[in-house]
Chain A
Amino acid sequence: SLSFKMERKTIDLDQGWDYMQTGITKLKRILEGLPEPQFDSEQYMMLYTTIYNMCTQKPPHDYSQQLYDKYREAFEEYIHSTVLPALREKHDEYMLRELVKRWSNHKVMVRWLSRFFYYLDRYFIARRSLPPLNEVGLTCFRDLVYNELHSKVKDAVIALVDKEREGEQIDRALLKNVLDIYVEIGMGQMERYEEDFESFMLLDSASYYSRKASSWIQEDSCPDYMLKSEECLKKERERVAHYLHSSSEPKLVEKVQHELLVVYANQLLEKEHSGCRALLRDDKVDDLSRMYRLYHKIVKGLEPVANIFKQHVTAEGNALVQQAEDTATNHAANTASVQEQVLIRKVIELHDKYMVYVVECFQNHTLFHKALKEAFEIFCNKTVAGSSSAELLATFCDNILKKGGSEKLSDEAIEDTLEKVVKLLAYISDKDLFAEFYRKKLARRLLFDRSANDDHERSILTKLKQQCGGQFTSKMEGMVTDLTLARENQNSFEEYLGNNPAANPGIDLTVTVLTTGFWPSYKSFDINLPAEMVKCVEVFKGFYETKTKHRKLTWIYSLGTCHLNGKFDTKPIELVVSTYQAAVLLLFNTTDKLSYTDILTQLNLSHEDLVRLLHSLSCARYKILLKEPSTKTVSQSDSFEFNSKFTDRMRRIKIPLPPVDERKKVVEDVDKDRRYAIDAAIVRIMKSRKVLGHQQLVSECVEQLSRMFKPDIKAIKKRMEDLITRDYLERDKENPNMFRYLA
């Protein structure tokens, strides 16, 4: 036991140190696990005070420097005599355990000794700018133990890691403790951990996975390989959580991803029977989702996947188009048009199907939205049997919206289809062409009362407006409004007739007044109307002038309908015909037989129109007129006679007039509008920019017009030249590729 007088007597260095040694020895015994009681507070205080006194003594007995050095030497001695030998004799896992123990012990020793020598920390080290006691203690371990062993330790750790990777159980806690040493020995910096352990571990991991990948890629299918990869990544993350430092996670994951997924990306995705293409073909949604998850985290990893997706969808779309094209060439006209409608349906289904992929498998990623869009833009702009996609789509809409078109479908189903059709329009570059076809067909539906449901008509216009803007639908909306107004107008007309019995034409007359700007342009011919109809026109004109004086009425007889009473021998039958057809038939009220030429001169029609009319009345289903000779087609030398013997079981029949192919006119009208649109765009751009290079002007023009159509570069050039001739633009004198706006 120790006894000490609490007298402030000068302590000699050796004397004092001997006393400290007893404390140090006691501590070592405790650390070695020998039977030794813990320090009690009195012992502690005495050790502490000894240091205090030796430091506060008057020179030459102030021993701070010596004590500071002896403090360090105490560690060095212990390490050399006990710690290092113990470690040097062990290997692998045993060595690791020993190291952990020795490190732990060392920390305890540092803690205790630095408490005993604490007074040095208070004043001495600051005065001399020396490292504090804690640091001195740790530095000893680092310089003597760590520096000698860290490489061996690292090898042992990595060997265990690889063992674990191969499926064996290892002592994770041990590894955690070992790696904590690397971190702590850095004393606030991660350098030791990173340079002495992590960098080697990463290299080893990369090489490990490189070996695995090279054999898996040969043996495994794409889905299996992906499963393995996913599992490996999961396991590596777990590894980090259990014993590596958290900062290693991104680096380790990157290495593993690189070896498994980046190096072999191409081989994996392009695997013949199980790669991305095959997965899409076989609707392997789960596998594709996994593929997305894996490649999502890799820089530019999704690009090849999106590309394959785009190619796949394009191929499917092209196949549908080809199918429709083949059917059209091999079958009759009406089967072809049915096939075209089937095509639109199938395209909609294709879109629905792959949109699900984009949203679910590919988590709504923009790359895949873009891929889908680009794919559809490729095949949605192909022509099928001479019809543009714009026309097909417009016909599809017409079929849904007209009477007898889709009455079997529920309102909801119709709404849904209309919604999808409008979405499809986004992919079509010639939107203006669609608008024009749609308008023409809408006109027919409205004027011939063939619209099935007003709500659906309005609904699709709303959807089109949302997607393409107000300008797109303004005319169509005007048309629908016109019809409502027309009904009101008709009521006023009937009232007018009621009040002016003398003006009554003697025939029931319904007139629909259309606002010119909204409706498609119609050619109006100067047909010679029968007297009865002429009177009708006069009467209505009279009425209309009472309402407005500032508008001009242009009559489009080609759109009119007439109900005639045919007084046939057997029984009278009501004939519902077009105005033109009626004009032809009424000629036979005064003459029994007429030649083609007679009719032509009397009515003042073109050959094309007259042949069509006479064909419908004499060579089609209902032969109201007898043709001589009774060949199947009308020729200019034929003559016609009223067929009094005609009869039918119905009391009223409609004699259809096949519509003129509107396609040519629509395309012409759209081309004309495009010329104006291009002019306007060029002028607008040049007015604001004043001077602009050719290529820039062209690309801005294309950009501005892209909402409605894809302008032909040559067409733009032509309009530019026209604007030069009209002095809107000029070429720059110095640079002929530059243009200038002329105010």
Chain B
Amino acid sequence: MPRTASKPTKKRSKPYTVTSSDTDPVPSASSKTKKSSKENDEKYKLFNKYANTSSGIIDPEGIEKLCSKLKVSHTDIKILMLAWKMKAKRQGYFTKAEWRRALKALKVDTIKKLKKALPELEKEVRKPLNFADFYAYAFRYCLTDERQNCIDIGTICQLLDMVLGSTFRDQVDHFVDYLKIQNDYKVITMDQWMGFYRFCNEISFPDMTNYSLELAWPLILDNFFEWMREKQA
């Protein structure tokens, strides 16, 4: 979920450098592109309303402002979906190019239009093909470090709730319970993260009759399965 300004921003590793002209390569001005650059202007104007003037990108403070304007909580999945649409690289920040990408795809250029477009966006993301991609994106988005490739249990629990809570309530609740009491893993990898999604889609719950320890499910899910069986006994 997008970071808010209340979180400390000191402990950041080397971020990628941001330049004020961080845009997609724009073709040289011609009659053809004059129209599109005018459209872009609107989007950039909107962008600048929320962007930090010195860094030239929307930071957590800006996002919080945006969220209140959209009348959506910053922990709402729709913001994450918007970040996905932007292909935003860094949690808590939107660059100009990312902003333009999303708004162009959504065909909006005002806050009002953006707010209206959010439910549509959610529908689109929830399509099975897109959702798998979105689910993987959510994990990557939460990685705070370029060199890092896993996320702590606490964050994972929150993320699972946000991303899968509405569609797989039961599985998420039980799995989150399990994650909190187990001691084998302190962090979750992408493979384990994706494994859980597959689990939700393929395994009937809570009976789990079609689960097999003989297959290549991540070990954490094997352990979860055994823990569930013990509880059910």
Contact = CB atoms under 8 A, between A and B. Distances in A.
A724 B222 contact: no
Contacts of A737: 215-216
Interface in A489-537: none
Interface string A691-719: 00011000000000000000000100110
Interface residues of B, number: 13
Given A731-B191, A736-B198, A721 B219 contact: yes
A721 B192 CA distance: 9
A725 B215 contact: no
A694 B216 contact: yes
Nearest to A720: B216
Interface string B199-233: 00000000000000011101100100000000000
Contacts of A717: 216, 218-219, 222
Contacts of A724: 189, 191
A731 B216 contact: yes
Contact of B214 (A695, A714, A718, A721): A695
B1 interface: no
Contacts of A718: 219
A310 B222 CA distance: 35
A724 to B, nearest CB: 5
Interface string B176-212: 0000000000000101100100100000000000000
B197 to A, nearest CB: 11
Given A721-B189, A724-B189, A725-B191, A714 B219 contact: yes
Contact of B216 (A714, A725, A739): A739
B149 interface: yes
Contact of B189 (A714, A725, A736, A738): A725
A725 B218 contact: no
B150 A736 contact: no
A736 B216 contact: yes
Contacts of B216: 694, 717, 731, 736-739
Given A736-B216, A737-B215, A737-B216, A721 B222 contact: no
Contacts of A694: 215-216
Nearest to B191: A724
Nearest to B223: A714
Nearest to A695: B214
A721 B150 contact: no
A254 to B, nearest CB: 43
A421 to B, nearest CB: 37
Contacts of A731: 191, 216
Contacts of B214: 695
B149 A725 contact: yes
Contacts of B149: 725
Most buried by A among B149, B191, B215: B191
A736 B132 CA distance: 14
A739 B216 CA distance: 9
Interface in B149-168: 149-150
A739 B215 CA distance: 12
A259 to B, nearest CB: 45
A724 B150 CA distance: 12
A721 B185 CA distance: 12
A725 B185 CA distance: 14
A725 B222 contact: no
Given A714-B222, A736-B198, A721 B215 contact: no
Contacts of B222: 714, 717
Contacts of A721: 189, 191-192, 218-219
Interface in B53-88: none
A696 B191 CA distance: 20
Contacts of B191: 721, 724-725, 731
A736 B192 CA distance: 12
Most buried by B among A694, A724, A736: A736
A63 to B, nearest CB: 90
A474 B198 CA distance: 47
Contacts of B198: 736
Nearest to A727: B149
A694 B191 CA distance: 15
A694 B218 CA distance: 11
Interface string B29-59: 0000000000000000000000000000000
A49 B86 CA distance: 122
Interface of A: 694-695, 714, 717-718, 721, 724-725, 731, 736-739
22 contacts: A695-B214, A695-B215, A714-B219, A714-B222, A717-B218, A717-B219, A721-B189, A721-B192, A721-B218, A721-B219, A724-B189, A724-B191, A725-B149, A725-B189, A725-B191, A731-B191, A736-B195, A736-B198, A737-B215, A737-B216, A738-B216, A739-B216
Closest 7 CB pairs of A and B: A694-B216, A737-B216, A717-B219, A724-B191, A725-B189, A718-B219, A737-B215
Given A725-B150, A737-B216, 4 more contacts: A714-B222, A721-B191, A725-B191, A736-B216
